[in-house]
Amino acid sequence: MAELNMEEELKPLDTNELKYDQRGLIPAVIQDVRTNAVLMLGYMNEESIKRTLREGKVCFWSRSRQEYWVKGETSGNYFEVHEMYADCDADTLLIKIIPLGPGVACHTGRYSCFFNTLAGSKQQEIQND
């Protein structure tokens, strides 16, 4: 088994090196830097990434409304960018954030959008015991 090296050198990328889908979008996983909880998944294009880097708050591209939206503009639940990473294929982003405001990521009022467990998953089995 290969030895795990968590101290590997980070490779800086420009936004034009990222691999966007046919619509010019890239998925962005949002993670709370304090708890490591995954809060949500959004989509970004090159311009929303540039806005995020420039302003320090996460800006997405809304696929349904076809417009830019800064997370927290209407709710007050802003995401302050702490770190941004691209995966090994440069086709997915991981954005580590510090939640500002009430600390709610989901439009349902929950801390994270990931609160539904799938039937048959380990967590579901534990809850049903």
Closest CA to 101 of 71, 56, 64, 68: 71
- Looking up residue 53, the CATH number of its domain turns out to be 3.10.20.810
Output phi, psi for 51, to 5 deg. -65, -40
Looking at residue 60, its pLDDT comes to 98
β-pair type (79-86, 93-99): antiparallel
Looking at residue 4, its pLDDT comes to 57
Decide if 36 is inside a domain. yes
In the DSSP assignment, the letter for residue 125 is H
Is 90 exceeded by the pLDDT of residue 94? Answer: yes
Decide if 31 is inside a domain. yes
Decide if 9 is inside a domain. no
Tell me the average pLDDT of the chain.
89
- Structure confidence by residue, pLDDT tens digits, 21-75: 999 999 999 999 999 999 999 999 999 999 999 999 999 999 999 999 999 998 8
Query: Two tokens at 67?
Result: 């417009």
Decide if 13 is inside a domain. no
Decide if 123 is inside a domain. no
Decide if 1 is inside a domain. no
pTM of the model: 0.85
Give the other-Cβ count within 10 Å of 84's Cβ.
16
Domains: count for the chain: 1
Is 50 exceeded by the pLDDT of residue 126? Answer: no
